[in-house]
Chain A
């Protein structure tokens, strides 16, 4: 018998961001016994930081919007390597999921006629993002949190998972975790696991991500045989804060541009008119980020290496009402009054489009009983995520994962067994950093990793640079074998960092391997040695597996759209935009 805390559930959800909470609500609502595990306190997950809004095609302001147009925008911005079926489900279901939030107590900003307000955002054809000022993520997570505490769900806050256990038949059987407060271990025996652990933006610097975004879930799953896809696709948000140094990377919501903010280079030129004359500042993120990067490289950057963002022309009252958080953030942290002054912005790592390859309807990975939803999963966003499409993703696929995991548990013939020897191994592994003497400092290994990733696998990539980065990563991995920590088991952040660094190192290599394999430029992936987008690469996703310490990569065909969906692209403009134009013309003719 093992002498550690042991718990038993039908479904264990790892992660209490939007995806995890939505999944837990669904699975427990259907009758599964559910636990939610989170590295931080309830309501603090990375999701809380989301600002701009949730994309859902209500058409409250623009009646020609609809799911087909949202579908069109999402596929197009993803450069057509998205899983079309996920995009279809997502764009059809998002409005329902947002209304569900309203009925659970969320209070969105309103239109004049009393409906949910929608704001414009980069590369969305219409005003589409339901929002609450610039704190939409908080509204979403608070609403789900307030819902989940009324259901019969056990919440394990500040509990970190380090390993997934499978039974002899390769099915999910359990999880190993420890309590951060006092360091004691827990074994969760469970029939199904839903990973909702978010992305891995902390691998880079600057980054807009919270400390939690270290890819633990994807890494744990990869180690037990789950497949990763599109790992080369890392989103740089065009506008992070630049100055002072302490705030570098903190997000400046796209809402600033959505509400009318304009970008200028050091010479006072509105350069987006040159890079994308049609969508200008509201072009997709990959395009705007690259444009700022190019301006800086060409010597037209601001004093601290960015571009100017200016919204002063909207007037103080409007700015304070629509962007209160931004106003506060700049005033407090940078001594800048954005109602009076322009400010510096530069690209910051923001989102990881790649992740666990899942079944589009069931959110199931290739490992029986293992599900994934939210940023840690892959398929919806393709080569570039549209703003507002993540929060919707969490709701739509969180719910679907909860449903599917519940179904799976119902149909499970026998209870999977955890092998005790594996649990003992994991206990030893987790304690090892205390035994290594005078080893490497995990914080400094993390910093070194951030430098490697930002230098060699950043916004601009090339074959030779990627090779160099990969070689440096291998050296760092060797050093990281000897990470060591001192002090007690209880609330010891140095020790906690060890596992996060291990997760990031594992996934970092997959990013390099994916980036080397994709010999073209597409969406967020820009290779100077292959600057063109190539049709043959538009037909594949790169899928990676991990066996005995080795990475295997293979191309998988992108699922082909059925004719009724493919037809949406024939006109070369979004269906809703076309309808709006026709209506406009009709009106003009009758005049």
Chain B
């Protein structure tokens, strides 16, 4: 008999639900998503899960495994089997549930639409050096899994979605602000609309990011500094603004 593992998977919708046990044959190198697919094919064809790439590229399969926000396609089962701990798979808590492991993440897409886009200072082709774009490229690694949004207590516990865009969009705003060819000015927006002030630098977002983006250190803190400069230290603010628009 092949070795098996029991997965406790949340089954339910907005009316409630519970974790149900499923016994799955273990294969070498299996990830949680493989197990969920096995359950779909053999035990529960209507078990809802999002996924696309199964290679940690698309950010679709976000959920919580034993309480921790993770990508199901990147979470190995042997991690738990070795330790002898049971595996619990639940949907992300911060977003309203649709069914089983699938949540309604549409709020993120509404936020995305509000962000003032890239405004090129001159027509392409740009002359840009690798060292100038390294930082921007770090943020552009984002796979929009929204795990950072899931873990951020401002959204998860305090439900401040009306006031704070969350770490994913701080990274996006930082990427635009730090793009050497961008002529936009979003500092006011970052303070007023995106609500950077809500973040109290707990670093939880960076810890769960599967792309290892230093969201707090590299995006949020510099954005906070820009806001502080503009609003509390107008001279330094002007200087920065000048630096940014200078060729």
The distance from the CB of B106 to the nearest CB of chain A, in whole angstroms, is 8
Q: Are A212 and B46 in contact (CB under 8 A)?
A: no
Residues of B contacting A110 with CB < 8 Å? 128-130, 133
Cα A519 to Cα B56 in complex, Å, equals 41
Q: Is the interface of B mostly helix, strand, loop or mixed?
A: loop
In whole angstroms, how far apart are the Cα atoms of A34 and B79 in the complex? 47
B127 touches A157 (CB 8 A): no
Cβ of A534 under 8 Å from chain B = no
Q: Of A68-76, A131-139, A230-238, A378-386, which stretch is located at the interface?
A: A131-139
Q: A42-B109, A211-B51 are in contact. Are A114 and B128 (CB under 8 A)?
A: yes
Residue of B57, B58, B117, B141 near A105 (CB, 8 A) is B117
Kindly state whether residue A246 has any CB partner on chain B within 8 Å.
Answer: yes
* Chain B residues near A535 (CB-CB < 8 A): none
Partner of A44, one of B52, B98, B102, B106: B52
CA A195 to CA B51, docked complex, whole Å: 22
Give the distance in Å from the alpha carbon of A488 to the alpha carbon of B13 in the complex.
11
Asked if B57 contacts A491 (CB within 8 A), the reply is no
A177 contacts partner chain B, Cβ-Cβ < 8 Å: no
CB distance from B114 to the nearest CB of A (A): 9
Decide yes or no whether A329 CB sits under 8 A from chain B. Answer: yes
The reply to whether the CB of A245 lies closer than 8 angstroms to some CB of chain B is yes
A246-B31 contact, Cβ under 8 Å, with A44-B58, A109-B130, A490-B99:
yes
Cross-chain contact A333 with B29 (CB below 8 angstroms): yes
Q: With contacts A41-B105, A244-B28 known, is A46 near B52, CB below 8 A?
A: yes
**B56 and A243 within 8 A (CB):** no
Does B53 sit at the interface, judged by CB under 8 A?
yes
User: Which of B13, B74, B124 interacts with A103 by CB under 8 Å?
Assistant: B124
At the interface, yes or no: B82 with Cβ under 8 Å from chain A?
no
B40 engages A114 (CB within 8 Å): no
Q: Scoring B residues 115 to 155 as 1 if CB is less than 8 Å from chain A, else 0, what string do you get? A: 00110100111111110010011001111100000000000
Contact flag A116-B125 (CB < 8 Å), given A138-B143, A150-B117, A246-B34:
yes
B46 touches A494 (CB 8 A): yes
Q: Is B30 an interface residue (CB 8 A)?
A: yes
Task: Give the interface size bracket for B toward A.
Answer: 35 or more
Determine whether the beta carbon of A210 is less than 8 Å from that of B53: yes
Query: Do B120 and A147 touch across chains, with their CB atoms under 8 A apart?
Result: no
- Cβ of B179 within 8 Å of any chain A Cβ, yes or no, is yes
Q: Is the CB of A100 within 8 A of B29?
A: no
- Pairwise interchain contact B48-A491, C-beta atoms closer than 8 A: yes
B56/A493 in contact, CB under 8 A:
no
- Interface residue? A99 (CB, 8 A): yes
Q: Name the one of B13, B40, B52, B140 contacting A490, with C-beta atoms under 8 angstroms.
A: B13
Interface string of A84-126 (1 = CB under 8 A from B): 0000000000000001101111010110011110000000000
Instruction: Find chain A residues with CB under 8 A from B45 CB.
Output: 441-443, 485-487, 492-494, 497
Assess whether B240 is interfacial by the CB under 8 Å rule: no
The answer to whether A471 has its CB under 8 Å from any CB of chain B is: no
A253 to B93, CA, bound (A): 35
Closest residue to A95 on the B side, CB-wise?
B125
With an 8 A cutoff between CB atoms, is A558 at the interface?
A: no
The answer to whether residues A488 and B128 also contact, given A44-B59, A244-B27, A325-B57 and a CB cut-off of 8 A, is: no
Q: Are B46's CB and A48's CB within 8 A?
A: no
Bound state CA distance, A240 and B151, in angstroms? 34
Residue B183, interface by CB 8 Å: no
**In this assembly, does B81 line the interface, its C-beta being within 8 Å of a C-beta of chain A?**
no
Residues B53 and A48 in contact, CB atoms below 8 Å apart? yes
Q: Are A48 and B125 in contact (CB under 8 A)?
A: no
> For the complex, is A577 an interface residue (Cβ under 8 Å from B)?
no
Within 8 A of B (CB), among A485-507: 485-488, 490-495, 497
B230 to chain A, nearest CB (A): 23
Distance between Cα atoms of A177 and B208 in the complex (Å): 36
Q: Size band of the A side of the interface?
A: 35 or more
Contact call B41/A444, Cβ cutoff below 8 A: yes
Q: Which residues on the B side are within 8 Å of A135 (C-beta)?
A: 57, 141
Closest-CB distance, A197 to chain B (whole angstroms): 14
Task: Contact check, B126 vs A102: say whether CB atoms are below 8 A apart.
Answer: yes
Q: How far is the CA of A328 from the CA of B41 in the complex (A)?
A: 29
List of B residues within 8 angstroms of A244 by Cβ: 27-30
Chain A hits for B28, CB < 8 A: 243-246
Q: Which residues of the other chain, A, contact B30 by a CB distance below 8 angstroms?
A: 244-246
Q: Which residues of A contact B29 (CB under 8 A)?
A: 243-247, 333-335
Which residues from chain A contact B201 at a C-beta distance below 8 Å? none
The answer, yes or no, to whether A251 is at the interface (CB within 8 Å) is: yes
Q: Determine if B158 is an interface residue (Cβ-Cβ < 8 Å).
A: no
A149 at the interface (CB under 8 A from B): yes
Q: Is B238 an interface residue (CB 8 A)?
A: no
Which of A44, A103, A133, A329: most chain B Cβ within 10 A?
A44
- Residues of B contacting A41 with CB < 8 Å? 50, 60, 105, 109
Q: Which residues of B contact A491 (CB under 8 A)?
A: 48, 98-100, 102
Expressed in whole angstroms, the minimum distance between the Cβ of A351 and any Cβ of chain B is 15
Complex CA–CA separation, A442 to B118 (angstroms): 45
CB of B109 within 8 A of CB of A488, answer no
Contact B140 A40 (CB under 8 A): no
A41-B50, A102-B126, A132-B140 are contacts. A49–B105 as well, Cβ < 8 Å? Answer: no
| Residues from chain B with Cβ under 8 Å of A44 in the complex | 52, 58-60, 144
Q: Compute how far the CA of A494 lies from the CA of B52 in the bound complex, rounded to whole angstroms.
A: 16
For B131, the closest partner residue in chain A by CB is A110
A107–B50 touching, CB < 8 Å: no
| A511 to B127 alpha-carbon distance, docked (Å) | 47
Question: A146 at the A/B interface (Cβ < 8 Å)?
Answer: yes
In the complex, whether A181 has a CB less than 8 A from a CB of chain B is yes
CB distance from B63 to the nearest CB of A (A): 14
Q: Which residues of B contact A175 (CB under 8 A)?
A: none
Contact in complex: B105, A493 (CB < 8 Å): no
Is B228 interfacial (CB-CB < 8 Å)? no
A248 to chain B, nearest CB (A): 9
Which residues of B lie under 8 Å from residue A103 when comparing CB positions? 120, 123-124
On whether the beta carbons of B52 and A493 are closer than 8 Å, the reply is: no
Q: B residues within 8 A CB of A428?
A: none
List the B residue with the shortest CB-CB distance to A133.
B137
At the interface, yes or no: A142 with Cβ under 8 Å from chain B?
Answer: yes
Within 8 Å by CB of B52, from A210, A442, A495, lies: A210
Which of chain B's residues have a CB closer than 8 A to the CB of A43? 144
Q: How far is the CA of A142 from the CA of B143 in the complex (A)?
A: 9
Task: Say if the beta carbon of B244 comes within 8 Å of chain A.
Answer: no
For A485, the closest partner residue in chain B by CB is B45
* 7 new A-B contacts at CB < 8 Å, known A211-B51, A250-B55, A333-B29: A42-B109, A44-B58, A181-B102, A487-B45, A488-B46, A491-B98, A492-B48
Q: Which B residues have a C-beta under 8 Å from some C-beta of A?
A: 13, 27-31, 34, 40-41, 45-60, 74, 76, 98-100, 102, 104-106, 109, 112-113, 117-118, 120, 123-130, 133, 136-137, 140-144, 176, 179, 182
A-B contacts, 29 of them at CB < 8 A, read A40-B50, A40-B52, A40-B60, A41-B50, A41-B109, A43-B144, A99-B125, A103-B120, A110-B129, A135-B57, A142-B142, A147-B117, A181-B98, A210-B52, A243-B29, A246-B28, A246-B31, A328-B56, A332-B56, A332-B76, A441-B41, A443-B41, A486-B45, A490-B99, A491-B100, A491-B102, A494-B45, A494-B46, A497-B45
